[in-house]
Chains A and B, each alone.
Chain A
Amino acid sequence: MDNTVLLGVWLAVGLTLFMYSFLYKDNVFFRFGEHVYLGISIGYIIVRVIFNNFINDLYKPLVEDRDYILIIPALMGLALYTRFFTRIAWVSRVIFAFIVGFGAGLGIPRTIAGGIFKQLEGVLMPLAAIKDGFFFNADGNFTLVNINSLIIIVGITSVLVYFFFSVEHKGVVKSVSRVGIYFVMIAFGASFGYTVMGRMSLLIGRCYDLIEFSSPKYYYASIVLLIMLILVFIIYEVVIKKGEVLKTNE
């Protein structure tokens, strides 16, 4: 086993256990892990952006390939920093306006097409094929498609009424919005369940690695570090408690 791989494994296990130690209580190990994570995340992103983005996409094309058109977006990007200088801060507002305008121009049609029209297209379906009957399709087989369509229409309408802010929730509006909130809560329940599954999957993924790294190949990294961490906590608690007892006696 390569020493660098071994070092990486022990570091990974150590930091995982440090972060999980927060479940017991806030402690110096968690804080250490938190600050290492913070520092590494910023450092990694900075290095990536400089080498992948700035040097590969701006410096090299500009200097080596003489693609001088890139000066324009480079200057626009630099102009954003003028917001820190009061006298010329207005320049950054022009650039922001460009960014917002471009973003809105790209974003608005796509949001309307995909977020509203496509949804309406999918929902504006027949409530029932009248000639076949409500619970049967053209082949005469039992189907819940029509019930589903009805539920979808009722659900969408009642939820939209719930989020109507121009009318006080009284009378019929109150009843309809109540139905709407039930639909919303059922949807949230489904989302919650799926998310719990997602979070458990992440835990399973880490546990998989911890179990793998507890093997003799990695010199029982998980077991050794876990025992060391528990011992440190026990000693810390005993020493602190002893210290407190001594203080109160004094």
Chain B
Amino acid sequence: MSLSWQKIINLDRRIIYVLISLAVIIPLMKPLFIKVNITPEVQAVYDTIESLPPGSAVFLALDFDPAAKPELYPMAEALLRHAFRKDLKVIGMTFWVTGAGLGEKVFSDIAKECGKEYGKDYLYLGWKVGDYALVIGMGEEGISKTFPKDHYGNSTGDMAILQNVATLKDISYLIELAAGDTIGTWYYFGRLKYNFKMGGGCTGVIAAGWYNLLKIDWINGFLGGLRGAAEYETLINKKGTATGGMDAQSVTHMLIITLIVLSNIIFFVTRRNK
């Protein structure tokens, strides 16, 4: 192997870290305004919410923790903005104990921005241990029986929002924002039994597997990773952190593709030379 090829192959990984950092930081500081195209699976979620009449109930399952915040929090913001714009009633909860605070923050921030009233237009149930037992409880016994108190400790029995939304059978659309495997719980114990429509959002790590769920009709659409969040922000005409991150995403992807192609060329050339 010649010296130059050897130098490139044995390149200190810290140089690659610096290149990646620059590829992320520079586009964030100097945006390139690359256009975001909309994919059918994101469009499907948007169209479903758009088709719901005002007053319909939407359930938002915020099943992620701070580690997945950069990808799923912008999704939650965009979905809530859309739902509130359509005057839909939104109920939220989470299966992740470390995500309870994030859910509270996104609900209160976006509701304040949209002028929505707690208990009447939206409700945040918070976290409770139970997993599938909670889903079954909300479907059979009722949401207020399963969560007698909300995240803030208020009694849910008297809340105006739950007067017409007693159980999961009364919700029009459930959106599961997942950083893990919770989509199965919502499908098996929720959608399969109570027949509501379901959509989702997930981190890039599990997004590839969700196309299969789309095919077998678990979900009618989903937002995959930061890109999905950016597409949704474009659809609702309210650009946020996801859209801003797309430039950096594109530049880093180009850098990674270049490095992969280069290293493969070197690999085949040096193998041939041997």
Contact = CB atoms under 8 A, between A and B. Distances in A.
Direct A–B contact in complex, judged by CB atoms less than 8 Å apart: yes
Interface of A: 23-24, 41, 44-45, 48-49, 52-53, 56-57, 106, 110, 113-114, 118-119, 121-122, 187, 190-191, 193-208, 211
Contacts of B215: 122
6 contacts: A52-B128, A57-B129, A194-B208, A199-B204, A201-B226, A202-B67
A24 B100 contact: no
* Range class of the B interface residue count: 35 or more
A118 B188 CA distance: 12
Interface in B70-104: 70-71, 97-98, 100
A72 to B, nearest CB: 15
A194 B204 contact: yes
Contacts of B68: 202
A50 to B, nearest CB: 11
B209 interface: yes
B252 interface: yes
B14 interface: yes
B127 interface: yes
Given A114-B187, A197-B249, A204 B28 contact: yes
Contact of B205 (A118, A194, A205): A194
Interface in B133-162: 149
B224 interface: yes
Given A49-B129, A52-B128, A203-B20, A196 B256 contact: yes
B98 A44 contact: yes
B180 interface: no
B244 interface: yes
B188 A113 contact: yes
A109 B94 CA distance: 25
